[in-house]
Structure 1
């Protein structure tokens, strides 16, 4: 039986997800990396599985391929997410389908199968990447569908943590502020920095370090760890 631990990371082609794949490799894990556009890795310890996580078949395929290649799943980071800031009445049916498809349906399919694999293995760890906008709505960033979906992930984090606490599976969330990634053009950075009490945007390493901490914290479960420059505390 393979004793090397295995981490699954969604949204892994750039930004936080790509850095997470690297961080788990440094921890000695094999990594299964998924995104719509991900390309094969030269690292034999990384299996890439392309596909849109909103497609129910993709979540199943990611875990099936993880088990076929590495024989186990020890960690899952639900990092894939869609964020669209619009006035509530401007959201379209297509927006709703896209955002709920990735943020909720994608979470459901891959996590259900990952937890089933973790139960076979005697334990594991799930981390959901959410957003601090669920705790502090901001009139400058109308984002009802982010709150609807990521707020659901915060709630299900606690629900699953309690459901599986006695069976060796921990479930936590990391709730970021606005992170400097390719999603945000450089020209917007000063304005975005001002949305955080500490006066700066977050770095990818801030989120990765939080997830690595949770990975090594066996007494922490059901936690929503805010990595948001103080946003959730006030402004």
Structure 2
């Protein structure tokens, strides 16, 4: 594939051996990690801004069988998505109901300004030995996965397939997630260096650029407790500096 996928289900077999994978059935596993073949895409394939989560969490993955496509992405967390995007200046600062409606409309608009998806388009899960079950969320999920050999291979495949050749119009990639002590930011920077060779440089602690696109990391929309309010600057907390850095980098990327 050359560029971003169109709105809907995505045809991709890069990470799966043998014949073509069956959607939401075929899996690839290595030790305590696995992926399920269910890549999806929302919004425009020719966007100015690409917005990426890490992978479909259990709420989104569990909705695939019985939820309309336009309602799957960021299911249950769209208000947080709106608050985060508003904080960095990508959508208006409005009331909660209107903000959620804006996000709903953006997700469904296949000819608009935004593209939505995830860095790993398929569902990532980790085996929880205590619960003896597979989990699609949990502490350190992002940076721990991309820190394994299996995760590195999957991430490189996915980024090569969908992020190497971006439309000329695309100027900004917004990545949900910072990781433990910014580990996810660091690993993502290395990934972009591998799949898009160029003059990559750091703008600040949460943003980097190759002078063509700028990548900005923001708080994860499913973060618990005070993490999102702290990042938004609602509380007096040092984490708010990351929100301010993200806002500054977004403004510069689109100016």
With the shorter chain as reference, the TM-score category is 0.3 to 0.5
Q: Which has the higher relative contact order, 1 or 2, with Cα contacts under 8 A spaced 6 or more apart?
A: 2
Calculate the TM-score normalised by the size of structure 1. 0.38
> Which has more helix, going by share of residues?
1
